[in-house]
């Protein structure tokens, strides 16, 4: 038996395999968009062809951070904003593991903004799902980086003076090689996009519109939506960076005007993943590093060989 | 002037002038000549220009500190002192390497300065002649720049200085020739050899007024290597199977980060320079979570950013090794100056009742062994372990027998199960692996772990309080059990360190001495040298260098304190942090402990400790402002 026999095992999984047994029951509010992400992810997994033991889901803190409590796989519920750096290293240490990271808009675009930019820039082979409900959910309704300008909350009583962050445009500038937006109210598209994102070899960023009926009463803004690939009006070449940038700009401008554009915005299949880049310059071992610790035949060189220059 | 036992050679100039490499080669040559060597590095926080010096001490006996003052000054001038625009010239910087170093030059010492750089008026302006007479110094002006220019370029002044020193001190130039020949090639090599030879000849020709020479090397029993504390930490990590490093540059941590980054890929490992220190620590956690032995680290401010991930590692019981290379704080403080001011920060940072292992090695050998032990404990006990050292130990070089590093590697990732073992292990009814058992089977506090990709090992790691399979739980009973188990590891480790006689504390001086000195980390060997001086002068003193800061060696320290009348805690910070820690851990001795503190950016010299001890004994009083003495409570 290999040390990581779950990896690459022929798996005919159905979405039930990713549903934990008897506990725990989700603590999300009724009607919360987070259920939509969980269901879409479960639905995507059979498509991806991975079994629960070879998948690791990393989350931050917030309502979204509980995703991996309700999803059967290896899970790491990290700290606020830090899912990505933890996830990145697991991927580097064992590229065979399917790495998925998830977080809220406060978690991912606020406190974890720096990590988001740099993970995208490095194009790590992983999927990053941001539960974008335009609000801080778990801390009870404060304005988030994606809340619309003028948004009133207990901490912004006069309404936010800030323009909302443009996550798709930011992601494109930072270097993500797969960028899509989907919505909890559109389960079929969401599952399809997640499956595609997970299979993409590079950093796949999915801005997932989730409604927070508890703190963000404007949640209804997420219906109706238009799939930009389906619509003749918006169809653009998703491999063309300039066209994608324009489409993103339009989508981000229209979001708060009531027209919701979702779908794939940008896909770059040419760009090598970070692992491939690192391997190419000789800074990444061929054999997954994690395997070496279980390999009885592995050779462990010691520092003694380095002492020559100290003599 | 009696013949000094040790050569204490200081080379001074501007940073960027090659002071570092020159002094390293000088030390290496003396080591090869059969002497023991020790270097001490002093540099300002700027890239080019600014006053910098390195001391090389060499002798046949043990040389474990920079010593008191020094006895040979080689000044090169500061070639980067002038601003590019003529009118921005700010004082005679070229004379600075000479003037700024004179205060610590011992009586009867030798001065070599570059006549090619300094005009006669410059030298007159600083009253060198007068001061030399007062102190019995021997001054040798020599046109080092001229010699360098003749065969090569101005920067070879350092080689000229070394050649001239060798002649004045009667050191065989062959050792320097060999280093130049091995380290350079082509024209550079030829030019440097010529410069060395010319300067050496000149040094032989001038009249020697000083009448003393460098000690002749008695030789070593075995091959020696010249290493810094940072080298030793890095090599200890490598030998312990660490193959993943993540970091963000910050002085002086950058040293270990650089050494590891340059070597790990060759060893099949991975190095990541990331966006900030939060990410750096988080990456090390992620790699460790995946089953790889990983390390990160930083200095003061960067380490502060790691406070939150540190707690995450503890709560999720993910092994994590961090290096904290201290420098003077608070805030950005003095980036290139040593201090031991982060002790409390290292011991207690992160929210909640947070526990970790903290070692503070005192020298190159301890940096190696304690880093290895930190890894072993972190991975065996699934707990964060921190190796704390400082800018002094980072920059100093010492010779160590090569055989010291002839150790077997240990790649064992500790308490990780194989898939076969996972299949046998406890699972929850929902099929999740019980990663955080309330009562681990072997009766210990460590619940073995699985890593992603292993069949049947699925669990949730979370920074929230959690139950046996990792799900968030605020159940009071579970909370207490999990807290007790996590905190209990520290007692287990304390027991392990005690029981196997792996004590990292180092003792020095007569066992039955009347008085004690307690110190930690990089100050230890300086204190030990002072203890010898004190005992020779008729005092009755012994000292202990504490390396195990958490878990704290209660038994050992109690024994030490019970055996003395009074103890002075010597440390490089302003608030007596170790002293406070001792009192907290042992719950008493407030009336038995006084503090000798130094926090001016320079480490203790043996004579500082001698003066401080005498002050504590009522025999004297600190003659200068550079140290503070804080008496025991009630005194
Ligand atoms: C360092 C830190 N700062 C603040 C918090 C408190 N906190 C918990 S969740 C959260 C906001 C979550 O908002 P978002 O990421 O949008 O997720 P949501 O709850 O809406 O899913 C904050 C500020 C924390 N846990 N850690
Ligand atoms: S607070 Fe909002 S985001 Fe959180 S669970 Fe409730 S509805 Fe969902």
Q: For the domain made up of B7-205, give the CATH fold.
A: Pyruvate-ferredoxin Oxidoreductase; domain 3 (3.40.920)
Under CATH, which architecture does the B506-628 domain have?
3-Layer(aba) Sandwich (3.40)
Provide the residue ranges of all domains of chain B, joining segments of one domain with +: 7-205, 226-405, 419-499, 506-628
Of the listed ligands, the closest to the CA of A29 is 2
Share of chain A above pLDDT 70, in %: 98
Using the predicted structure, report yes or no on whether residue A74 has a pLDDT greater than 50. Answer: yes
Given a cut of 50, is residue B85 above it in pLDDT? no
What does B421-449 look like in DSSP terms, one character per residue?
HHHHS-B-TTS-B-TT-SS-TTSSS---B
pLDDT > 80? residue B48: no
> In chain B, which residues have their Cβ closer than 8 Å to the Cβ of A301?
267, 409
What does the alpha-carbon distance between residue B290 and residue A119 come to, in Å, rounded to a whole number? 18
Tokens of B614: 């005498």
Q: Tell whether the model's pLDDT for residue B634 goes beyond 90.
A: no
- Identify which has the larger pLDDT, B476 or A234: B476
Structure token pair of residue B121? 């008026």
Phi, psi angle pair for A189, to nearest 5°: -60, -40
Averaged pLDDT for residues B75-92 = 53
Half-sphere exposure (Cβ direction) of B32: Cα atoms closer than 13 Å = 18
Average pLDDT over residues B222-251: 98
Distance from CA of A180 to the nearest CA of B (A): 25
pLDDT at B624 over 60: yes
Number of the ligand 1 atom closest to the C-alpha atom of A215: 20
Whole-angstrom distance, CA of residue B528 vs CA of residue B606:
8
> Which of A293-302, B87-96, B245-254 has the lowest average pLDDT?
B87-96
Q: What ipTM, to 2 d.p.?
A: 0.98
* CA-wise closest residue to A305 among B280, B219, B263: B263
pLDDT for B585 equals 97
Nearest ligand by distance to the CA of A143: 1
Element of type H or E holding B499: helix B476-499
Residue B2: predicted pLDDT:
40
The domain locations on chain A are 32-305
The reply to whether ligand 1 has any atom less than 6 angstroms from the CB of A133 is: yes
Higher pLDDT, B388 or B84: B388
A65 lines ligand 1 (CB under 6 A): no
Dihedrals φ, ψ of B556, to 5°? -60, -45
For A94, B57, B301, B350, the CA distances from A13, given in Å and listed in that order, are 22, 69, 47, 41
| Nearest one of B251, B149, B220, B222 to B191, comparing CA atoms | B149
Nearest CA to ligand 1 atom 13: A136
The percentage of residues in chain A with a pLDDT greater than 90, rounded to a whole number, is 86
Q: Which fold has domain B226-405?
A: Rossmann fold (3.40.50)
Express each pLDDT in A252-279 by its tens digit. Answer: 999 988 889 999 999 999 999 999 999 9
CA-based nearest residue in chain B for residue A68: B460
Residue with tokens 């109690």: B558
Give yes or no for residue B80 having a pLDDT over 70: no
Tell me the C-alpha distance between B14 and A219, whole Å.
Answer: 64
Distance A133 CA to ligand 2 centre (A): 9
pLDDT band at residue B79 using 50, 70 and 90 as cut-offs: low
- pLDDT at residue A1 is higher than 70: no
Residue-level pLDDT at B78: 66
pLDDT 10s digits, B165-183: 999 999 999 999 999 999 9
Mean of pLDDT over chain B: 93
A90 — contact with chain B (CB < 8 Å)?
A: yes
Q: Tell me which of A79, A80, A215 to substitute to probe ligand 1's pocket, judged by most ligand atoms within 8 Å of the beta carbon.
A: A80
Q: How confident is the model at residue B635 (pLDDT cuts 50, 70, 90)?
A: confident
Tokens 């360098």 -> residue: B148
Please tell me whether residue B166 adopts helix, strand or coil conformation. Answer: helix
Q: Which pLDDT score, from 0 to 100, does residue B81 have?
A: 53
Tokens of A48: 């991806």
Supply the pLDDT for residue B14.
80
Distances B115 to A165, A176, B100, B123, B159 between C-alpha atoms, Å: 63, 60, 17, 9, 15
- Res A125 pLDDT > 70: yes
Whether the per-residue pLDDT at B90 is higher than 80: the answer is no
- Cβ–Cβ gap B226/A293 under 8 Å: no
Please check the confidence at residue B84 and state whether its pLDDT lies above 60: no
* C-beta atoms surrounding B409 within 10 Å: 17
Candidate CATH numbers 3.40.50.720, 3.40.190.10, 3.40.50.970, 3.40.50.2300; the one for domain A32-305: 3.40.50.970
pLDDT tens sequence across B437-460 = 999 989 999 999 999 999 999 999
Question: Which pLDDT tens digit goes with each residue over A128-165?
Answer: 999 999 999 999 999 999 999 999 999 999 999 999 99
Q: Given pLDDT bands bounded at 50, 70 and 90, which one contains residue B564?
A: very high
Quick check: A302 and B409 CB within 8 A? yes
How would you classify residue B513: left for phi > 0, otherwise alpha for psi between -120 and 50, otherwise beta? beta
A63 C-beta closer than 6 A to ligand 1: yes
Residue pair B525/B65 in contact (Cβ under 8 Å)? The answer is yes
Tell me the H-state helices in A79-186: 83-93, 105, 113-122, 167-174
Q: Is A92's CB within 8 Å of B225's CB? A: no
| Digit-coded pLDDT (tens) for B507-561 | 999 999 999 999 999 999 999 999 999 999 999 999 999 999 999 999 999 999 9
Strands lying side by side in the sheet with B628-630: B506-508, B541-546, B515-520, B566-571, B593-597, B628-630
pLDDT in tens, B325-377: 999 999 999 999 999 999 999 999 999 999 999 999 999 999 999 999 999 99
| Rounded mean pLDDT, B589-612 | 95
Query: Does the fold of domain B506-628 match that of domain B226-405?
Result: yes
């Amino acid at each position: 038996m290999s040390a990581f026999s779950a990896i690459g095992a022929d798996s005919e999984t159905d979405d039930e395999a990713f549903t934990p047994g008897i506990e725990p029951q989700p603590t999300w509010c009724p009607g919360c968009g987070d259920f939509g992400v969980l269901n879409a992810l479960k639905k995507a997994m059979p498509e991806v062809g991975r079994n629960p033991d070879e998948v690791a889901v990393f989350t931050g803190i917030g309502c979204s951070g509980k995703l991996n409590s309700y999803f059967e796989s290896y899970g790491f519920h990290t700290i606020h904003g830090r899912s990505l750096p933890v996830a990145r290293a697991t991927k580097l240490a064992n590229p065979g593991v399917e790495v998925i990271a998830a977080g809220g808009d406060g978690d991912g675009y606020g406190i974890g903004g720096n990590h988001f930019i740099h993970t995208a820039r490095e194009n790590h082979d992983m999927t990053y799902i941001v539960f974008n409900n335009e609000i801080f959910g778990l801390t009870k309704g404060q304005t988030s980086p994606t809340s619309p300008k003028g948004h009133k909350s207990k901490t912004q009583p006069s309404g936010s003076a800030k323009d909302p962050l443009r996550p798709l445009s930011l992601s494109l500038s930072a270097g993500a090689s797969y960028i899509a937006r989907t919505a909890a109210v559109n389960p079929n598209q969401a599952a399809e996009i997640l499956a595609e994102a997970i299979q993409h070899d590079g950093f796949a960023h999915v801005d997932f519109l989730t409604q927070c009926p508890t703190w963000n009463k404007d949640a209804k803004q997420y219906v109706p939506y238009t799939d930009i690939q389906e619509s003749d009006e918006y169809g653009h070449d998703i491999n063309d960076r300039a066209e994608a940038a324009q489409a993103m700009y339009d989508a981000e401008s229209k979001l708060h005007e009531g027209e919701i554009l979702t779908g794939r915005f940008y896909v770059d299949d040419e760009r090598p993943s970070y692992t491939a880049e690192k391997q190419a310059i000789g800074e990444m071992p061929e054999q997954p590093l994690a395997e070496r610790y279980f390999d009885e035949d592995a050779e462990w060189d010691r520092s003694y060989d380095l002492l020559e220059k100290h003599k | 002037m009696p013949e000094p036992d040790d050569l204490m050679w200081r080379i001074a100039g501007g940073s960027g002038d090659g002071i570092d490499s020159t002094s390293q080669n000088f030390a290496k040559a003396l080591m090869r000549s059969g002497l023991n060597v020790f270097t001490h590095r002093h540099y300002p926080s700027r890239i080019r220009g600014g006053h910098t010096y390195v001391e090389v001490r060499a002798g046949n006996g043990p040389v474990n500190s920079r010593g008191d003052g020094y006895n040979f000054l080689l000044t090169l001038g500061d070639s980067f002192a002038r601003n590019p625009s003529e009118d921005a010239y700010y004082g005679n910087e070229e004379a600075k390497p000479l003037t700024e170093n004179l205060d610590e030059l011992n009586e009867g010492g030798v001065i070599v300065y570059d006549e090619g750089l300094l005009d006669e008026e410059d030298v007159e302006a600083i009253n060198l002649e007068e001061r030399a007479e007062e102190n019995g110094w021997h001054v040798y002006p020599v046109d080092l720049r001229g010699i360098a220019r003749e065969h090569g370029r101005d920067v070879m002044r350092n080689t000229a200085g070394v050649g001239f020193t060798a002649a004045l001190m009667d050191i065989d130039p062959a050792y320097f020739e060999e280093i130049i020949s091995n380290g350079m090639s082509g024209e550079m090599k030829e030019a440097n050899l010529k410069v060395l030879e010319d300067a050496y000849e000149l040094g032989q020709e001038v009249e020697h007024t000083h009448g003393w020479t460098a000690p002749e090397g008695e030789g070593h029993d075995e091959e020696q290597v010249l290493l810094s504390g940072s080298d030793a930490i890095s090599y200890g990590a490598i030998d312990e199977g660490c193959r993943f490093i993540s970091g963000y540059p910050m002085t002086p941590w950058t040293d270990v980060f650089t050494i590891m980054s340059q070597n790990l890929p060759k060893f099949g490992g991975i190095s990541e320079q990331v966006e900030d220190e939060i990410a750096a620590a988080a990456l090390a956690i992620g790699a460790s979570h995946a089953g790889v032995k990983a390390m990160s680290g930083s200095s003061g401010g960067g380490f502060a950013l790691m406070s939150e991930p540190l707690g995450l590692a503890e709560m999720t019981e993910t092994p994590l090794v961090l290096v904290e290379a201290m420098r003077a704080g608070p805030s950005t403080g003095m980036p290139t100056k040593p201090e031991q001011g982060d002790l409390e920060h290292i011991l207690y940072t992160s929210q909640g009742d947070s526990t970790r292992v903290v070692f503070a090695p005192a020298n190159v050998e301890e940096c190696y062994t304690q880093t290895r032990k930190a890894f072993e404990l972190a991975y065996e006990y699934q707990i964060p372990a921190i190796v704390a050292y400082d800018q002094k130990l980072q920059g100093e070089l010492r010779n160590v027998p090569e055989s010291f590093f002839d150790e077997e590697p240990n790649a064992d990732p500790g308490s990780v199960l194989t898939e076969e073992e996972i299949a046998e292990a406890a699972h929850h009814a929902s099929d999740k692996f019980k990663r955080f058992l309330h009562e681990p089977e072997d009766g210990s506090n460590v619940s073995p772990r699985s890593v992603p990709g292993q069949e049947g090992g699925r669990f949730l790691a979370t920074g929230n309080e959690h139950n046996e399979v990792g799900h968030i739980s605020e159940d009071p009973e579970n909370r207490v059990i999990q807290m007790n188990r996590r905190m209990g590891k520290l007692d287990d480790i304390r027991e392990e360190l005690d029981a196997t006689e792996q004590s990292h504390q180092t003792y020095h001086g007569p066992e039955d001495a009347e008085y004690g000195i307690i110190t930690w980390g990089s100050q230890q060997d300086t204190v030990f040298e002072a203890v010898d001086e004190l005992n020779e002068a008729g005092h009755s003193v012994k000292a202990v260098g504490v390396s195990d800061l958490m878990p704290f060696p209660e038994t050992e320290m109690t024994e030490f304190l019970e055996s003395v009348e009074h103890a002075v805690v010597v440390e490089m910070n302003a608030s007596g942090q170790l002293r406070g820690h001792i009192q907290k851990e042992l719950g008493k001795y407030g009336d038995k402990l006084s503090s000798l503190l130094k926090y001016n950016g320079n480490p203790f010299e043996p004579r500082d400790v001698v003066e401080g001890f005498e002050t504590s004994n009522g025999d004297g009083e600190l003659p200068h402002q550079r140290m503070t003495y804080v008496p025991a409570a009630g005194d």
